[in-house]
Amino acid sequence: MDLLVEDRHFRRDWSTAFDVGGKAAAQNLADIAAMGASPTALLVGLAAPGDLPAAWAQDLVRGLVAECSRAGAFLAGGDVSSAEKITLAITALGNMAGFEPVTRAGARPGDQLAIAGRLGHSAAGLALLEAGLTEPGALVASHRRPRPPYPAGPEAAALGATSMIDISDGLLADLGHIAQASGVRIDVDAEPLADTRLKAAAAALGGADWLRWALTGGEDHALAATFPAGTGLPRHWAVIGRVATGLGVRVDGKQYPGPAGWNHFT
């Protein structure tokens, strides 16, 4: 279940109602995929000002339905109420097909860490919008409507993933949840995170830190999973590190300076 609050998680001057609906569905359906399940349905609660145009609400629903369709799920129902700002409360449901869920607590020393999906694209897109820029357009689109790799979740479970999470608050922050739940240290290699689009956006912004977007930017909803050493992974899974004894998360062997990701209360 996730909440989206206007001006905290989206802005109507930056995103269409269709975009907001797609983003709201994606961030919830990705949580289902991150447990190794196939998404099946969404329940949506909408609170909005009384003067919200009906057309905006209808486009919101179209966005929700479109992303559900992409994930193989349905919009099953919900509720409507009033509020000073648009607020969405969404519950996602999924099917494990008889298998046990992949949690955050199973990572073991010696496992390899891999990612399916993009990292830092949404954060770069947000930085571009904040600067009044719209290019590279693919990054702005990633912020407005993330594209989680839904099939990769059940695939990872079938491959024997020992833990998994979707990257919603930032790679380092979310890997921290796995490290804490599993009682391990996770070592991330920065080199595999190099991305030409992130570098182009950083250049457009006068030399911004593209690696910070990849390490701490959220809302891409890529899937991060740990697998037993030697597991053969499809090409769309990129190995970016390993699990070791100890606690916490390190980047190239060092503690990362600064925030690890999004904090809802600061």
CATH number at residue 140: 3.90.650.10
> Whole-angstrom Cα distance, residue 9 to residue 185?
31
Q: Are residues 73 and 28 in the same domain?
A: yes
What is the predicted pLDDT for the residue at 258?
87
Question: Are 23 and 135 in the same domain?
Answer: no
Whether 165 and 104 have beta carbons less than 8 Å apart is answered as yes
Phi/psi for 187 (5° steps) reads: -105, 120
Residue 44 forms part of a structural domain: yes
Q: Is residue 258 part of a domain?
A: no
Give the Cα separation of 59 and 51 in Å (integer). Answer: 16
Centroid of chain to Cα 175: 12
Q: Looking at residue 259, what is its pLDDT?
A: 87
Which domain-ending residue is among 95, 120, 152? Answer: 95
Q: Please give the Cα distance from 244 to 186 (Å, whole number).
A: 6
Tell me how far the alpha carbon of residue 222 is from its chain's centroid. Answer: 5
With contact defined as beta carbons under 8 Å apart, do 112 and 242 qualify?
yes
Residues 69, 168 within the same domain: no
d(CA 124, CA 121): 5
Domain that holds residue 204: 112-251
Reading the chain (266 residues) residue by residue, the pLDDT tens digits are 999 999 999 999 999 999 999 999 999 999 999 999 999 999 999 999 999 999 999 999 999 999 999 999 999 999 999 999 999 999 999 999 988 999 999 999 999 999 999 999 999 999 999 999 998 999 999 999 999 999 999 999 999 999 999 999 999 999 999 999 999 999 999 999 999 999 999 999 999 999 999 999 999 999 999 999 999 999 999 999 999 999 999 999 999 998 898 777 77
Does a structural domain hold residue 260? no
Name which of 252, 262, 224 is nearest 123 in CA terms.
262
Q: Could you tell me if 118 and 247 lie in one domain?
A: yes
Residue 36, domain CATH: 3.30.1330.10
The span from the CA of 164 to the CA of 157, in Å, is 9
Question: What pTM does this model have?
Answer: 0.95
Do residue 246 and residue 153 come from a single domain? Answer: yes
Angle at which helix 196-204 crosses helix 121-130, to 10 degrees, equals 20
Are 237 and 168 within one domain?
Answer: yes
Domain count, the chain: 2
Please give the span between the terminal C-alpha atoms of the chain, in angstroms, as a whole number. 21
Report the pLDDT value the prediction gives residue 262, as an integer from 0 to 100. 77
* Dihedral sign, Cα of residue 30, residue 11, residue 265, residue 176: positive
Tell whether 103 is covered by a domain.
Answer: no
Q: What's the CA gap between 108 and 102, in Å, rounded?
A: 13
- Co-location of 22 and 118 in the same domain: no
Would you state the pLDDT for residue 234? Answer: 98
